[in-house]
Structure 1
Amino acid sequence: MGYRQFSNGLARVIYDDALVGADCEKLFQRDWLEANSGGATVERGTAVMFEHNGVALVFKQYHRGGLAGRLVEKTYLYSRLENTRVWREFNMLRQMRALGLPVPRPAAARCVSVPPLAYRAALITERVPDSKNLTEVLCAHPLDNASWEKLGQLIARFHRNNVYHADLNASNILLTGSGDFYLIDFDKGVIRNTLSAKEARSNVSRLRRSLDKLQGRHTPFHFSEDNWQALEKGYAAGE
């Protein structure tokens, strides 16, 4: 039982054999996903939820942004497998779980070489049970300040472990029915030898900008300055 790898032509796959089997490459195929996810469309920026052998999973395809993204949407410059975004995120999730941090369990990753120098990739993680992202939660109802403090403490805990989240926004924070927070989507994230105070603060500031933007976009959206001060209080206590 553990993490295993195999090659299939130009494709390389790593997987957790406690969650998925050696036939897991089929889970990355568009036709299989669409047939086994209630008809979900596999497209840019959309997480696909599905079940396999009784395990709830989430599929994510990597996409390029900007002008390059419009030209070669699903491919990236390839150097070494270990440097690809998908391999880095898969292994970062493994490391964070070993540190006891609340992140999804990585189930499988697939990287396909596109000669001469490009690749395309996708990641599958275990779904966090009974959870919604913070955007969905705050559109539905407010959180008490104790929950905001708890979230601040959690972010500080990641920072104490030198974790830099490249896109800490409300949609990348999950809240379970039992009141536990998880962080997700660590694409372009990194575990530093030492996380600088500037990087840590940039994570917190990015979350604030996300919440402010969502408040202007959604009515209702249950977020107040008092909530933010509670998060800052929790963060300071957790540093």
Structure 2
Amino acid sequence: MGYRQFTSKLARVIYDDEVVDAGCEKLFHCDWLAANSRCALVERGKAVMFAYRGRELVFKQYHRGGLIGRLVEKTYLYSPLSNTRVWREFNMLRAMRELGLPVPRPVAARCVSVPPLAYRGALITERIPDSRTLTEILRERPLDNEAWAKLGALIARFHHKNVYHADLNASNILLTGGGDFYLIDFDKGTIRRSLSRQDADANVARLRRSLCKLQKRCPEFHFAEDNWQALERAYRAAIDQPENQAG
């Protein structure tokens, strides 16, 4: 596997040359995406799924939230390339895949300078085949406690590798038709030298809050207290094991 970089006018692009080539910059253009996906309009914060060279890919444009987001939308104050959100997430995905963790394959990232002091960025990853978010699935059907335990043990795997997910919620967890879980959307996440128990517990608590919030919004949301207990028991059992035993 090789990763290459190039500069085009004000843009810097990094890409996986086993999936795309230097012509991949067109994939970041809204007109191309609108013409080659099911999206008539590429909106900020919305994942765009499209096919390219026989692969299913996902485009994500970084954007600001809150009041600042309304003012400057997709641009950020300038920082060295390696510190930009798009470059950090691309390289974090690379590192996690090298650790054997189930995350999407990073395909390409593009960072555009917006003079005098700003930038905007976008990321393309490979889509996880036959997968849906945990949110989508639980709106339709329940999962058995074995699946919840499997998810708890998986989260412990990430924590054993010192991975901190900044927004672990039900929409950032994928489940495949074969029963495999993946974590996605590591914007603002980090791989630390050592992940504290406090931060690990905060990740788990964040997931529970998201599930409870969805349950309140949707009366048919399939989530029960015994599901959470199954997840938490499996997580505690796995996190208390030595890393080489926990996977």
Task: Tell me how far apart the structure 1 counterparts of residues 28 and 234 of structure 2 sit (CA, whole Å).
Answer: 40
Give the corresponding residue for 1:19. 19
2:161 maps to 1:153: no
Q: Partner residue of 2:38?
A: 38
Identity of aligned residues (%): 75
Matching residue of 1:126:
126
Distance 2:20 2:235 in 1: 37
Is the Cα–Cα contact under 8 Å of residues 165 and 190 in structure 2 kept in the other structure? yes
What SS is found at the alignment partner of 2:22? coil
Contact 2:50 2:58 in 1 (8 A): yes
Partner of 1:210: 210
Contact 1:40 1:48 in 2 (8 A): no
Per-residue CA shift, 1:171-229, capped at 9, x if unaligned? 00000000000000000000000001111011000000000000011131100000000
| Structure 2 CA distance for aligned equivalents of residues 77 and 196 of structure 1 | 30
Decide which moves more: 81-90 or 31-40.
31-40
Give 1:164's aligned amino acid: Y
CA distance in 2, matches of 1:39, 1:67: 26
Structure 2 residue aligned with 1:228: 228
> What is the rounded CA distance, in whole Å, between the counterparts of 1:137 and 1:29 in structure 2?
31
1:50 maps to what in 2? Answer: 50
Structure-2 residue corresponding to 1:141: 141
What's the secondary structure of 1:182's corresponding residue? strand
In the alignment, is the contact (CA less than 8 A) between 1:109 and 1:122 conserved in 2? yes
C-alpha distance in structure 2 between counterparts of 1:82 and 1:156, whole Å: 28
Q: Distance in 2 between matches of 1:238 and 1:218?
A: 31
Give the equivalent residue in structure 2 for 1:68: 68
SS at match of 2:97: helix
Listed as ranges, the gaps of 5+ residues in structure 1 are none
Superposition deviation, residue 40 in structure 1: 4.1
Per the normalisation by structure 2, the TM-score is 0.95
TM-score, normalising length: structure 1: 0.99
TM-align CA RMSD: 0.7
Q: CA shift at 1:22, angstroms? A: 1.2
How far, CA to CA, are the matches of 1:167 and 1:82 in structure 2?
21
What stretches of structure 1 move > 3 A for 4+ residues in a row? Answer: none
Q: SS of the residue aligned with 1:12?
A: strand
Partner in structure 1 of residue 84 of structure 2: 84
Q: Distance in 1 between matches of 2:205 and 2:64?
A: 24
Q: Which runs of 5+ in 2 are unaligned?
A: 240-247
CA 1:40–1:194: 2 relative to 1, 3 Å: farther
